[in-house]
Every structure is written in structure tokens, then in C-alpha cells.
Structure 1
Amino acid sequence: MNKQFKAAVPRWALIAGTLFLILVAASACTNGKKAEQGAAGEAGQKIKATATIGMIYDIVGKVGGNHVEVTGIMRSGVDPHLYKASQGDMRKLDQADIIFYNGLHLEGKMQDILEKIGKQKPVVPVSKNIAQDQLRSGSPEMGSEHDPHIWFNVQNWMSAVETVRDELSTLDAAHVEDYKANAEAYLAELRKLDDYTREQISSIPEAQRVLVTAHDAFGYFGDAYDIQVKGLQGMSTESEAGSQDVTKLRDYLVEHKIKAIFVESSVPRKAIDAVIQGAAQQDHTIKVGGELYSDAMGEEGTEDGTYIGMVKHNVNTIVKALN
């Protein structure tokens, strides 16, 4: 700019013009970022999703298909009630475009972290669209008014699938039809699983239809498929079962002549063994009917490492032992 032009243009006009250019540049940058996020799928970039537990990880992978890169936090054998996030977990949460979790205080020690992150990005409880009258009462030790083990009623888990579908569709509008198709295919499998579970459990004679486990995780399963459920511990495993819990369950098993009890893959079996030994001292033999998956699935890459495989494993193990 030459000296004559500077003299002709007032100083305030130069400042105003400079500010205008800065604002235009900032607006273009912001709009560019928004466009990049909204068209992530169009640009060939996968949505980065993080899921807390294996069952949710499985849903996101099935519904997201080729458009979503999903990472999980808690793997096989991990108890979500007691889990504490590591630095690696925090990186996964920080790098995610969207986070899916249970939403009923299942991930008790991570709840505050998830709520804080939710102020910056989508953090979605997969339980949010389950009807209130379908939720069981919770327990004081969990700090939740509802039982979080919703996946044991397959119809509840179908609602979770629909929630994941809708949230991914909102985040990545370019692939809505793919998310719908993936979800519908998976929902069809879950309808068959629901029918299979109901049919198999009904084959157990009613007098023998009592499921006794390490902790009270199978309440939804009992309500949905007409089987009585007893847990040594409450809904949370945060505190160990005491001697009174062991004695109470032992007496119940002896009185009702129940001969099978089940251990869980994510819960130590020490207290269950104490129940078995106590019953033996009263001349009542109880066997371990098998190991069930409760708060975690099987190893990744195996049939039991999928939600459908986990449920079928549990159903087949229960039916074989109680029949």
C-alpha cells in the first residue's frame, strides 16, 4: 500500500477492514470443520466410537459396519462394577467421536468421567429408550434406582440396538440407510434369539426352574423367560458376600432340594464354594451347573465373545444343568 493511499484512507477504516478479514477467515475455518465432521463418511473417514462393555461394543460393531471404527474398554472377564479407567482408556474416550455406555450406573467408577466428557461430545446411554415399566428396581449400593443388567432380556437389547442406530445416523447422515439396514439385520437375529431362549427355558420342568448364581445379575432374564432367580450377592459386586449371605442361600438350597448352582466368569467363586461346602455338611449335595457370562462376554474372536453367542451359551448351560 503506497503512502498516498494511506493518507487517503482513515485509520479507523483500515482497522475495520482488518477485523473483517479476520472474522471471515475464522468463519471459514469453523464452517470447514463442521462440514468435515458432518461429511466424515463421505470423505472416507470412519466414525470413531468407544464402548464401555463388550455387549455394547458388539452392538456398535454390528450396526456401524464399515463406517465405524469401534474400540472397547472392558474386555472378557472384567467386572464393570469395580472397573477404574486407565490412561489408555482416557485416550480412547478423548479420541472418540461418540461414546456408548450402559447408563444405569453399571460402570459405577466411571460415571463421573462419562458425565464430564458428555459436555464436549455425544456420550450416549444405550438404555435411554427402554420404557420405564420395563426396568427393574435397583439397589442402594449401586446408587441407581434401576437394575443395570438390561441385556438379559433380549427385547431390552433390541431397544439398545435402535438407540445406537439412531445416534450413528445423526452423527453420520451420509450413511443413514446403511445403519438402518445393518440394524434391521441384527434385530432379526435378536428376535430369533428371544424366541429360542423362551422355548429352551420353558423345556425345564417348572419345579426345577430355579437359577442360583454368584450375584443378582439375572433378574431381567428371570422376568422375561419365567425362571426364578437367586443371587448370592446383590446387583453390585463392590462388596463381598458375607457369612450371613452364604448361610441364607445355603439354607434355601437345602430346604428346596436344589442341586445345581452356577458360577460367573467375571465374579470370583470363593463364596459359591462356601455355599456348596455348607450344604454338604447338611448332607445335601450341590453341583456347579456350569459357568455363565454375566457382566462380561467370552474372549474376543470366539462365539461366546458375541452377545448372541453369550446368551446361547448361558441358555444351553442352564437347560443342561437344570434338566
Structure 2
Amino acid sequence: MNQTTIKKSPFQRAKMTLSVLVFILIAGCSQVEVNPESRQRSGDESPIEVVTTTGMISDVVQEVGGEEVHVTGLMRPGVDPHLYKASQGDMAKLDQAELVFYNGLHLEGKMTEIFEKLERSRPTVAVSKNLDPSKLRSGADTGGTEYDPHIWFNVRNWISAAETVRDALIEYDPDHADIYRQNAEEYINQLDELDEEVRTKIASIPEEGRVLVTAHDAFGYYGDAYDIKVMGLQGISTAAEYGSKDVAKLRDYLVENQIKAVFVESSIPTKSMEAVIAGAEEMGHQVIIGGELYSDSMGEPGSDADTYIKMVRHNTDTIVEALK
């Protein structure tokens, strides 16, 4: 008796192969328990292979690690970490890494399980792990998780991240501990200066005009730290959908309080804010886009926001110029 053979398309076969490979890799990570002694290198002068998630984390690891690290970032400029899914190539990079750094607090929500399994086979560090929970903003009320993960918008929090990176590198590579301490000290001094710079610039905006309206609620830590009211159309995660009620609520706030400018974000489509602007215009109130801010992603290499410090400075200068 003849049997009918169902042929799969090349796309279906490739998709099935990818799924199997990712499953095997994750399963392998979950089954291998590494001897604690292998979590510390000694006598190896080659750069440490480090994999990070966001550009901000890549930057702080490079600053603290210097020439002793080779950093591979998974997320390119303009990528939204809330919605990011690890590819087959990402899984291969993670499998080859000696150390892994990520944000934590569910910023990389779809990758959380991967990091939990990687912890069994190599040092996998959340840069947010040493922050005092009492100083973290709640995310539950704005469509997110327990805590708001956008910790880098308070420069003091990023100083803690730098210290966490320093300590993790020293623990893994004690032979170069003095280098990591020196690099971290120099970088933290720059962050101290940046923190004061942002505070001074935001204070120059008249208090009644100190309102920052953005596409999603990413700037809460910035608002708390530097005394500026922050409002976002979406919640803290861009995975949380916004609707016509959200657009109408923000539109009405802009009209009632005569807010002149709103801001778009580099990692989020502009259509959401354009809808708010159009709604305000229909009610006779003119609102402009005050500029593009970098929220969950830094700028392209060579731009004025291609490092964490430059990103914070760009955002602050853009806000001050539009609102002052």
C-alpha cells in the first residue's frame, strides 16, 4: 500500500531545527552543575569572554573591565529589551561566555528562565542585585512586574551597578583585582559628576514646566532623583498595550495643564505619541515633539548617546532645551 509523504517547507524544517537546538542548549545548561572552583580563573591572560544584554550594561562592563574583558552585547541600539527573544546565535554566545551580566528585575522578561539556568554553569550576574529593595519603584501599578527595572535613570543606581560589576570581575579574576578597582573608581568618579550635572540642569527648568511626558513609563527613577514629574502613555513595560482611553487621558492632561512638549523614544515607534498630539490639536492645543530620548537602548556607535554617560547627558540636554 502506498503511503503519502507530507513534505515540510525549508522554513518549517529550519524552524524545527532551531527549536531543537535551543531546547538542547537550555537543557544542557540546566543539567550541568559546575564545580565552584571553575568559577574562578587563574593565570589566564586572555580577555574574559563576557556576554551582556543591553547596551548600558555592555558599557559599564567595558569601563570597569577595560582591556581584561571582551564584551559581546546581545541587544543592538534601538532594540526593546522588554520584547526581546533570544535567537539561536544568542544562545551560542551565552554558551561560550565565561561571565554573563544582565539587568534583572524582569527587564529582559522573555529571557529570565535562560539566566536562571545559566547560573548553574557560569557566573551570571544581575547588575541590579545589590540595590536596596526599599529604594526600588513599584512596577505593579503601571502594568509591569513587582519592581520598575529602569534603574539606570538614577545615576546613583548605576554607581551600584558599576560596583556589582567590579566585585563580580574581582571574584572571577582575582589576578587583576587591582585593575578592576582602579577602573571602577575612575568611572564612579565620572558618574558622581554626571549625577550632579543632571541635578543642576533639571533644576534650571521653571518648576511649573518641569513635566516629562514620554511614550512609556521608563523615566520614573529619573523623575524621583532629579525632581521632575514624569508621565508615560504605556506602563513600565512596552509589552503592556495602550488603548484609546490611555490616549484620551494623556491628551486631556496635556490640554488642561497646557503642556507644550512631549518626547518620543528611540526604541519605541512614534505613532503612539503622534496620536496624543493629534488629539490635543483637535481640542485646540498645540503640542510639539520636544525631541527623541534614549530609554531602554543607547544610541548607535558614533552618536551622541553611544555610552551610558553620553546617553544620560543627551536626554537631559534634550529635556531642558524643550521645557526651559
TM over 0.5: yes
Shift, 1:153, TM fit: 0.1
Contact 1:108 1:142 survives alignment (8 Å): no
1:21-72, Cα deviation, whole Å (9 max, x unpaired)? xxxxxxxxx99x9689521xx3322111111100000000000011111110
Match of 2:236 in 1: 235
Match of 1:205 in 2: 206
1:193-223, Cα deviation, whole Å (9 max, x unpaired)? 0000000000000000000000000000000
- Answering whether residue 173 of structure 2 is matched by residue 177 of structure 1, we say no
The amino acid of 1:70's aligned partner reads V
Match of 1:5 in 2: none
How does 1:211-290 map onto structure 2 within 5 Å? 211-290=212-291
For structure 2, the residue ranges without an aligned partner over 5 or more in a row are: 1-33
Shift, 1:140, TM fit: 6.7
Match of 1:98 in 2: 99
Contact 1:77 1:296 survives alignment (8 Å): yes
Match of 1:47 in 2: 48
Match of 1:66 in 2: 67
Q: Report the aligned-residue RMSD.
A: 1.8
Contact 1:139 1:235 survives alignment (8 Å): no
In structure 2, relative to structure 1, the CA distance for the partners of 1:260 and 1:36 (3 Å cut) is closer
In structure 2, relative to structure 1, the CA distance for the partners of 1:36 and 1:245 (3 Å cut) is closer
| Alpha-carbon separation, structure 2, partners of 1:225 and 1:60 | 25
- Answering whether residue 41 of structure 2 is matched by residue 38 of structure 1, we say yes
- Answering whether residue 190 of structure 2 is matched by residue 195 of structure 1, we say no
| Alpha-carbon separation, structure 1, partners of 2:274 and 2:81 | 23
| Alpha-carbon separation, structure 2, partners of 1:275 and 1:47 | 47
Shift, 1:300, TM fit: 2.4
Contact 1:82 1:108 survives alignment (8 Å): yes
Match of 1:315 in 2: 316
| Alpha-carbon separation, structure 1, partners of 2:176 and 2:302 | 27
The amino acid of 1:96's aligned partner reads A
Give secondary structure in 2 for the equivalent of 1:62: helix
Contact 1:105 1:142 survives alignment (8 Å): no
In structure 2, relative to structure 1, the CA distance for the partners of 1:318 and 1:111 (3 Å cut) is same
The amino acid of 2:223's aligned partner reads G
Aligned structure 1 segments of 4 or more residues deviating by more than 2 angstroms: 33-38, 139-144, 300-303
Give secondary structure in 1 for the equivalent of 2:291: strand
How does 1:111-122 map onto structure 2 within 5 Å? 111-122=112-123
Shift, 1:141, TM fit: 7.7
Shift, 1:142, TM fit: 6.3
Give secondary structure in 2 for the equivalent of 1:120: coil
Decide which moves more: 81-90 or 135-144: 135-144
Match of 1:131 in 2: 132
The amino acid of 1:38's aligned partner reads R
| Alpha-carbon separation, structure 2, partners of 1:314 and 1:100 | 25
- Answering whether residue 296 of structure 2 is matched by residue 295 of structure 1, we say yes
| Alpha-carbon separation, structure 1, partners of 2:94 and 2:59 | 17
1:151-196, Cα deviation, whole Å (9 max, x unpaired)? 0000000000000000000000000000000000000000000000
Give secondary structure in 2 for the equivalent of 1:44: coil
In structure 2, relative to structure 1, the CA distance for the partners of 1:81 and 1:185 (3 Å cut) is same
Match of 2:164 in 1: 163
Contact 1:161 1:187 survives alignment (8 Å): yes
Decide which moves more: 110-119 or 77-86: 110-119
Shift, 1:239, TM fit: 3.3
For these two proteins, the number of residue pairs brought into alignment is 291
Contact 1:254 1:284 survives alignment (8 Å): yes
| Alpha-carbon separation, structure 2, partners of 1:275 and 1:215 | 13
| Alpha-carbon separation, structure 2, partners of 1:205 and 1:101 | 37
In structure 2, relative to structure 1, the CA distance for the partners of 1:36 and 1:273 (3 Å cut) is closer
Determine which structure has more spread, i.e. the larger CA radius of gyration. Answer: 1
Shift, 1:143, TM fit: 5.8
For structure 1, the residue ranges without an aligned partner over 5 or more in a row are: 1-29
